[in-house]
Structure 1
């Protein structure tokens, strides 16, 4: 098993990083973990005693064969790996960095070229999921890019221990390309759903019933099934500011591919307008706030219990 042969470092124990690292902890990996909040590392080691918490020193991952990063964006990944206190200069030749963050594929290729000079391979392996909180139970989907067949062979067992669905997509950056296009499709459904909800309410439809209909119709999507299935719960765990970042990456990827479409720019405008109306760290589904403002309506959340008992609106 890879848990017996690989020494693994992990940087980033946030909403996604902690449960992903925990998938390896449950399978007996001896992880060296680090987070900007040291208490997250302490908590992880308490839960998985085979692991140990790293300090912020650059040489904490010297003995690791593989270091996984799960960080907010590519800029942070680059700083952690190659910055003033970066870990790369202390890593062994032949080691591998796996970036599971949501980053620009172009930035990933640049980072890979610089790491290659240090004889370190970079693999991009961002995540998505088919249902809410799938990452908590090892059900994430990984999209993998690598220029090194040897590095890919080395890390695939590790990735499969992290996730149920692992898709090698091609050369370095291909994983991040797939991630941004996947998120772009998801954004389209979010915007269409917000349009439909405010329009429906203006015309007398119950928004919660609309979602119930879509979930057994052709309008079904991740938002209707999970993140916005219970209107205004705003608890998906995925922040609006991260969604905006992902749309910016998608827009850049499309433009650099030479394909012309007006939709990415329009989606970005709508979501950036939404970002101005919510508090920092707000759930991405709270973008609905700006649709309510533009439509001049407030989406009414139906009490499902009352509705089921015949005492609510129907």
Structure 2
């Protein structure tokens, strides 16, 4: 009789806009997830929705019985503090367990953290996220880019990765997932900046911005922003903060520079996006960067109805 693999015990740290629905994917598949967030109310809310799960305490040993712990945090510095800081969980995890970092982190910080965790017989796997369509992450449709130094570590976490996503790509050794994530976001940033340039220029020359987007979506200018995050110019509600986008561009600039490749575009993109944060509230949606372009162009983008081709 074939033995059915036992479902691993999973811990989850970080229940933000992406962390909450992705942790929910595991809960829906029968995992008894131990969850923790900087805001304890998020953990209580999660357990209220998924009673078989539990809210982990803030104690360093709160995940001592977990086979796998997933981190979904703002950046690699926070991940390091949570794992190996003064009250870090790392020293209290059982040998042979694994940590999956789904945060947008520097691959160089990730590799350093992995080396330190290996001394505790703990595997670190990086598995940041992206998505095909806006809000895919909310419905189990995430794309994961994975870095792992050993086949054993990768195979250990693969079932969990598959249960919380739609697509899983093994990019290479530890840090490779974060390299792919930052280059993916960097490519997206290029389209965001070009779109903002195009919209203000088009309006100054008499074009309707919404019609411009409608044209791009059936032309070669189509991209994630024209299809989803800036498809309607009437709202800024993608759920992805501008400050996180700026952080990702900083990482991309570091990665490109350390690769030995020379390009002025990363620095210019970072300059534009840092400027776009001026005057916006903390937590502003990334699509609100358009307001900075409006100010520089001395125009206010028209909010008109979408038009169909004739």
1:48 Cα deviation after fit: 1.0
Q: Which residue of 1 aligns with 2:193?
A: 191
Q: Secondary structure at the match of 1:168?
A: strand
1:167 Cα deviation after fit: 0.2
CA distance in 1, matches of 2:165, 2:149: 21
Q: Which residue of 2 aligns with 1:90?
A: 92
Pick from 52, 58, 73 the counterpart of residue 71 of structure 1.
Answer: 73
Contact 2:249 2:270 in 1 (8 A): yes
1:208 Cα deviation after fit: 0.4
Q: Secondary structure at the match of 1:143?
A: strand
Pick from 218, 234, 255 the counterpart of residue 220 of structure 2.
Answer: 218
CA distance in 1, matches of 2:185, 2:243: 13
Contact 1:2 1:157 in 2 (8 A): no
Pick from 11, 14, 17 the counterpart of residue 13 of structure 2.
Answer: 11
CA distance in 1, matches of 2:5, 2:263: 45
Q: Which residue of 2 aligns with 1:311?
A: none
Unaligned runs of at least 5 residues, structure 1: 309-313
Report whether the alignment pairs 1:28 with 2:27.
no
- The superposition leaves residues 174-231 of structure 1 with CA deviations (integer Å, 9 ceiling, x where unpaired) of 0000000000000000000000000000001000000000000000000000000001
Q: Secondary structure at the match of 2:43?
A: helix
CA distance in 1, matches of 2:30, 2:123: 25
> What is the aligned residue count?
307
Pick from 38, 41, 45 the counterpart of residue 39 of structure 1.
Answer: 41
Contact 1:232 1:286 in 2 (8 A): no
CA RMSD in angstroms, aligned pairs only: 1.4
Unaligned runs of at least 5 residues, structure 2: none
1:5 Cα deviation after fit: 2.4
1:303 Cα deviation after fit: 3.6
Report whether the alignment pairs 1:114 with 2:116.
yes
- The superposition leaves residues 98-137 of structure 1 with CA deviations (integer Å, 9 ceiling, x where unpaired) of 0000000000000000101111010000000010000111
Q: Which residue of 2 aligns with 1:140?
A: 142
Report whether the alignment pairs 1:261 with 2:263.
yes
1:2 Cα deviation after fit: 9.1
TM score, norm. by length of structure 1: 0.96
CA distance in 2, matches of 1:24, 1:275: 35
CA distance in 2, matches of 1:3, 1:165: 22
CA distance in 1, matches of 2:226, 2:234: 12
1:151 Cα deviation after fit: 1.2
Q: Which residue of 2 aligns with 1:175?
A: 177
